[in-house]
């Protein structure tokens, strides 16, 4: 396969089997959006259900694009155009060619919960050994991942690439582009059920990450997960490292857990060493996230002291159990980013460890499939069992959680009314989980 070691138009044309480019022009990066395009970039005119990038070729030229990748050339445009059969496929091919040229190591990760937190933890542990590129935001689909790969620089030692999916085959596609040296599955849970049917389907889809794993790569598997044995079987041709809290035979494990209101402590064990970790985030699920990062770091031969230093310096990702103190006695826990059933359960466990009045503000957990009402009811029952004082619902599905919670549950049809209610309650000793 042709590699993309340098950003030259001639190289890109060769990768895409487009007409040869006569000049020696170079491009500084790749853009699919003229609103953010910078001078010197290569513009790829993607097609979608509600947009056509070809309509913005003139704007791309005006903004300084060096050239454009198109499905069909536009006549009378003073811009070099590389014509291909499918511009979305062209984006993938350029990304794969860039990966082939990358001399560093790639970590690929997927899972129903914790992907972004684990991604940041892994990047933190690897920075002691060199520059790290990590997926930004939620650029983890068939457009975002190739764009991330095309940001790879020659002086970077590692890339940490997040892979998301809402249908079968998507992670396989992404893994074959990223070609990870280490492939990690954090867990399988009740997320994106509309695309996978049930959690078993989710687990099967997550295992697709091993299809692109390098021949001598390492599979990192959560041994605590119900589907760990399945993943181990799928990855049977690769070296494996397991991490766990509850499985003593795992290579990377935690013991002596102490879960505080805003932190966690545990002893981290590897085959070579053990040390105490003070993790500045709360929750058993975050201990599992830390173990996942430690397992990847161990696979890449990062030392225990470097792992300890990275884990203990971690700051929570925005919208994922951020503790926001609004007064001496009042606390908001912001876990509002893309909540699903399992992440909501974990957040409720954190809320239950707080003092004072405990209030859960719950919106609809989307993409829950045919089990949506049942899952919301289960959340309502769990909140009551854990001693949560009030459950406030907003959204059609959250009504099921409110009903299951009982007489101190309240449902709001207006967001403004909900906010007003919370503000009026937030004067005393109270913790609000959003």
Task: Determine how many CB atoms are found less than 10 A away from the CB of residue 154.
Answer: 10
Domain 9-86 has CATH 3.40.190.10: no
Cα-Cα-Cα-Cα dihedral sign, residues 267, 269, 272, 277:
negative
Distance CA 263, CA 290 (A): 12
Position 1 scores a pLDDT of 59
Position 278 scores a pLDDT of 98
Distance between alpha carbon 118 and the CA centroid of its chain, in Å?
8
Say yes or no: do domains 9-86 and 102-312 share a fold. Answer: no
Distance between alpha carbon 67 and the CA centroid of its chain, in Å?
32
180-219 residues labelled b (16+ CB within 10 A) or e (exposed): bbbbbbbbbbbbbbebbeebebbbbbbbbbbebbeeebbb
CB-based contact 38:27 (threshold 8 Å): no
Residues with Cβ < 8 Å from 414, sequence gap 6 or more?
none
What is the chain's Cα-based Rg?
Answer: 24
Distance CA 18, CA 16 (A): 5
Output the six-digit token pair for 158: 């590692």
pLDDT digits (tens, 9 = 90+) for 52-90: 999 999 999 999 999 999 999 999 999 999 999 999 999
Transcribe 288-311 into DSSP letters.
HHHHHHHHHHHHTT--HHHHHHHH
Closest CA to 344 of 372, 313, 312: 372
Position 2 scores a pLDDT of 66
322-433 belongs to which CATH class?
alpha beta
Decide which of 3.40.50.2000, 3.30.499.10, 3.40.50.150, 3.40.1190.10 is the CATH code for 102-312: 3.40.1190.10
Q: Bridge partners of 331?
A: 325, 431
Q: Bridge partners of 259?
A: 264
Distance CA 219, CA 312 (A): 25
Closest CA to 150 of 22, 352, 3: 3
Q: How far is CA 83 from CA 38, 80, 194, in A?
A: 21, 10, 36
Placement of tokens 């070609």 in the chain: 179
Structural domain boundaries of the chain? 9-86, 102-312, 322-433
CB-based contact 167:142 (threshold 8 Å): no
CB-based contact 199:187 (threshold 8 Å): no
CB-based contact 380:405 (threshold 8 Å): yes
Distance CA 81, CA 90 (A): 13
Distance CA 3, CA 19 (A): 17
Distance CA 119, CA 253 (A): 19
CB-based contact 120:9 (threshold 8 Å): no
Per-residue tens of pLDDT for the chain, all 434 residues: 566 878 999 999 999 999 887 778 999 999 999 999 999 999 999 998 999 999 999 999 999 999 999 999 999 999 999 999 999 999 999 999 999 999 999 999 999 988 989 999 999 999 999 999 999 988 999 999 999 999 999 999 999 999 999 899 999 999 999 999 999 999 998 876 778 889 999 999 999 999 999 999 999 999 999 999 999 999 999 999 999 999 999 999 999 999 988 899 999 999 999 999 999 999 999 999 999 999 999 999 999 999 999 999 998 878 878 888 888 788 899 988 777 888 899 899 999 999 899 999 999 987 677 788 999 999 999 999 999 999 999 999 999 999 999 999 999 999 999 999 998 887 788 999 99
Give the length of the chain. 434
Distance CA 194, CA 180 (A): 28
pTM, entire model = 0.85
């Amino acid at each position: 396969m042709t590699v993309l070691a340098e950003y030259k138009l001639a190289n890109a044309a060769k990768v895409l089997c487009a007409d040869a480019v006569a000049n020696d022009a170079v491009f500084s990066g790749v853009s699919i959006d003229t609103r953010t395009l910078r001078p010197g970039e290569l513009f790829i005119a993607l097609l979608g259900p509600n947009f056509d990038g070809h309509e913005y070729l003139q704007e791309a030229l005006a903004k300084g694009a060096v050239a454009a990748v198109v499905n069909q050339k536009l006549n009378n445009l003073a811009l070099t155009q590389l014509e291909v059969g499918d511009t979305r496929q062209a984006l993938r091919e350029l990304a794969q060619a860039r990966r082939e040229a990358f001399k560093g190591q790639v970590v690929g990760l997927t899972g129903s919960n914790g992907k972004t937190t684990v991604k940041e933890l892994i990047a933190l542990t690897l920075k002691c050994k060199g520059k790290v590129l990590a997926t930004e935001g939620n650029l983890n689909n068939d457009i975002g991942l190739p764009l991330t790969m095309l940001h790879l620089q020659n002086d970077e030692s590692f890339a940490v690439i997040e892979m998301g999916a809402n249908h079968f085959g998507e992670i396989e596609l992404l893994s074959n582009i990223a070609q990870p040296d280490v492939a990690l599955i954090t867990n399988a849970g009740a997320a994106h059920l509309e695309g996978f049917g049930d959690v078993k389907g989710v687990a099967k889809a997550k295992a697709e990450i091993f299809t692109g794993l390098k021949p001598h790569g390492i599979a990192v598997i959560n041994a605590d997960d119900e589907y760990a044995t399945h993943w181990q079987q799928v990855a049977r041709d690769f070296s494996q490292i397991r991490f766990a809290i509850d499985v003593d035979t795992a290579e990377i494990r935690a013991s002596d857990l102490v879960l505080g209101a805003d932190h966690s402590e545990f002893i981290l064990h590897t085959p070579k060493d053990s040390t105490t970790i003070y993790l500045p985030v709360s929750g058993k699920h975050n201990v599992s996230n830390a173990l996942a990062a430690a397992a990847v770091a161990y696979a890449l031969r990062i030392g225990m002291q470097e792992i300890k230093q990275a884990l203990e310096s971690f700051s929570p990702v925005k919208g994922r159990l951020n503790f926001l103190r609004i007064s001496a006695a009042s606390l908001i826990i912001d876990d509002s980013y893309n909540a699903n059933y399992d992440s909501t359960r974990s957040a409720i466990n954190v809320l239950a460890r707080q003092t004072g009045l405990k209030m859960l503000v719950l919106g609809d957990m989307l993409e829950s499939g045919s089990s949506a009402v049942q899952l919301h009811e289960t959340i309502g029952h769990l909140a009551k069992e854990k001693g949560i004082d009030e459950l406030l619902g907003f959204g059609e599905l959250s009504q099921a959680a409110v009903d299951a919670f009982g007489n101190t549950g309240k449902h709001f049809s207006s967001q403004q009314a909900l906010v007003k209610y919370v503000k009026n309650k937030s004067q005393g000793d109270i913790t609000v989980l959003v």
